[in-house]
Amino acid sequence: MNALADARAWLAQDPDPVTRDELADLIDRAEGGDAEAVADLADRFSGRLQFGTAGLRGELGAGPMRMNRVLVAQAAAGFARFLTGRSGGSVPTIVVGYDGRRNSDVFARDSAELFQGAGLDAILLPRALPTPVLAFAVRHLGAAAGVMVTASHNPPDDNGYKVYLGGDDAGAQIVSPADAEIAGAIQAVADAGSVADLPRSEGYAIADEDVVAAYVAQTAAVSPAPASAAGMRWTYTAMHGVGWETLRAVLEQAGYPLPDVVAEQIEPDGAFPTVAFPNPEEPGAMDLAFETATRTGAEFIIANDPDADRVAVAVPTGSGWRRLTGNDIGLLLGARAARAAEGAQGASLACSLVSSPGLGAIAERHGLAWHETLTGFKWISRAPGLVFGFEEALGYLVNPDTVRDKDGISAAVAVLGLAAEARSRGASIADLVDELADEIGHFASGQVSIRVDDLSIIGRTMASLRADPPASFGELAVERADDLLRPADGEPGGDILRYLLAGGSRVIFRPSGTEPKLKAYLDVRASTAEDARARLASLEEAVRARLA
């Protein structure tokens, strides 16, 4: 079938008036010879968003290459078939959550109706809530699975569909081969006919507020406020997301003083009006937080991303505000966990292989195991003996017995505990970073990212690196090159190139799993902070030159 025929068939089953009008207009224009409309339809019907270990994620709009009610219906019905097939005859329970993005609530209700119509016991969370609450609810309710409708920190026009499994998977995100099996079931639904023919039921349950209350109680217990927290002045932004209501309840139960909030960003708003890109890592995203913190004399800033599964921290300097890197925070929280677990049989720390190797130095110092995994908490959360895990993209798992995924609420509470403990001796979060570096060595990490409009550029660049391997980056010779498409025994595998350099530095290239980016991760280790910064700057320059 050609794109026009595919578009007409899609239009006939689309229940959403917005995307119906959008698609009908494109069809009319394409039939009239509008070249732009023809190209747009060709793009939207060139395939379908691929269901993988990160679920689904894409731009809102009509067609199988966009996020919309037809695609979500196919995904829900396919996932229901997968769960029924592995249930052994019992009725699976599935929990559905959603954040404040555009259409998140619609996609969630559609999913709940389709799950219930397919014979599952579906439970919809009571309102827009952080992703960690959904991940918690899967375990807390003993569910077979969970679905969270969110695109996390992606651009405003995106949405997504994240899947968790209960049982032996303990509430973690899906991994292979489940992703391929689910994708196959979804494709079978799409091939079978119109989503209008799928059975639906409004008999699904709405989760009791006790679920949220249980999450709040267990998260508050991560780090109850010590006496030194009294009078602590800090700033918080929810980045137009859903984190504040839940975080506030946790703070009140844990005993921390409430922050000065960034008023313009504290309520959920799927349009994200004050930020071009609602990711605390992006330039400009925390500018309003810096202004608020400067005005109020804050000791530090904490930011969640829109679904509150990530957390960012900034500290004051003599010339403004410094955002701590994801590795800075990860090493602080890792040292916190290592101190608590020291001597525990089988306890381990884990991070993705593109995160700071400083976590390994912390583990060694405290007699713990250390695991490097593929990127993503679906892998980190499965590390044996895990007491703490992180990845440099602001994701932290500080409470694995409660949530088997990154959790920006519990991580924020753990940071508050560290800040309060430092405060008791006249120190700051910035002091903690320096003190840890003095203990384990000065690790510096950087990242070079190339955002592309054409995804094939990423593939060509990775192919070029494989075909013409670099012998050095600047003055640093490559001592070992690992292509993790063909990993050694015991190594994680993926589209990753790792170069170990002279002097203990390293460079890792990988395509982003959630954005159209090629990323290079850089790590150096030195005896002083100044030397580490100088080495990192030189390495960044060399990597940019290689990618130019």
Catalytic residue set:
152
Q: Is 217 exposed, middle or buried (0-12, 13-18, 19+ CB in 10 A)?
A: middle
145 with 133: CB under 8 angstroms?
A: no
- Within its chain, how far is the Cα of 444 from the centroid? 22
The token pair at 362 is 């912390």
Residue 279: both structure tokens together = 């990711």
Q: Using CA atoms, how far apart are residues 448 and 518, in angstroms rounded to an integer? A: 8
Joined tokens for residue 169: 């998977």
CB atoms within 10 A of CB 447: 19
Cα–Cα dist 57/64, whole Å: 12
**Pair of tokens at residue 528:** 């002083």
Report the SS3 class of residue 424. coil
Which has the closest alpha carbon to 359: 405, 390, 317?
390
Left, alpha or beta for 239 (phi > 0: left; psi -120 to 50: alpha)?
A: left
How many angstroms separate the Cα of 419 from the Cα of each of 327, 380, 438, 439? 17, 26, 18, 19
Handedness of CA 291, 292, 293, 297 (dihedral sign): positive
- Distance in angstroms (rounded) separating the CA atoms of residues 159 and 125: 18
3-state helix, strand, coil in the chain (%, to 5): 40, 20, 35
Residue identified by tokens 């384990």 is 440
Which stretches within 63-161 are classed as H helix?
A: 69-85, 104-117, 131-140
* CB neighbours of residue 469 within 10 Å: 12
In the block, tokens 């006496």 appear at: 227
How many other β-carbons are positioned within 10 Å of the β-carbon of residue 253? 17
Largest CA distance in the chain: 74
Taking the C-alpha atoms of 215, 216, 218 and 222 in order, what is their torsion angle to the nearest 10 degrees? 130
Asked if residues 445 and 437 have their Cβ atoms less than 8 Å apart, the reply is: no
